[in-house]
Amino acid sequence: MQEDNFKPLLMGYLDSELTELESIRVEQHLEQCAECARELEEFRRLKEVTRNMRVATPDARSWDEYWSHVYNRLERRVGWVLVSIGAILILSYGVYSLIAKFLLRSDFPLIVRFGAVAIVVGFCTLLISVLRERLFMSRIDKYERIKR
């Protein structure tokens, strides 16, 4: 039998919906064909996951809660991005004007000033990024502790 003839049978095989002859043929093919065997394994896992999901979320309300959770996470991520950008801009401006006041006089070449801006923005970005990671990590720690 051709390869393509087996794949549609895999789901039926998993659900025990095939005739005895078909089942035997599928089993014989599975012994020789790693690809179909892998596909069957994936179907089996998918079936397992969907069954577990049905057990875990038996009604529509759970789905609503699930989606509002996803939405909250998305919202929080957007919030973080905005806060980060704002903080980076303001910090960069502050640090740069300090540097400009004390170190950079107008007789410095343009490229040096560009360099200073790049360093300041880069530094502030790193700082905000580390701060965010710290906050995020401590939140995970708390969650882990509650779970245990």
Summarize as ranges the residues that interact with Zn ion (CB under 5 A): 3, 6, 33, 36
Nearer to Zn ion, 2 or 106 (CB): 2
Nearer to Zn ion, 36 or 88 (CB): 36
Nearer to Zn ion, 35 or 65 (CB): 35
State in angstroms the smallest separation of the CB of 23 from Zn ion.
15
Q: Which token pair is 87?
A: 């903080």
Q: Is 13 exposed, middle or buried (0-12, 13-18, 19+ CB in 10 A)?
A: buried
Nearer to Zn ion, 4 or 144 (CB): 4
Look up tokens 């980060």; give the residue.
84
- Please spell the DSSP secondary structure of 63-100, one letter per residue: HHHHHHHHHHHHHHHHHHHHHHHHHHHHHHHHHHHHHH
Secondary-structure breakdown of the chain: helix, strand, coil percentages, each rounded to the nearest 5: 85, 0, 15
State in angstroms the smallest separation of the CB of 34 from Zn ion.
8
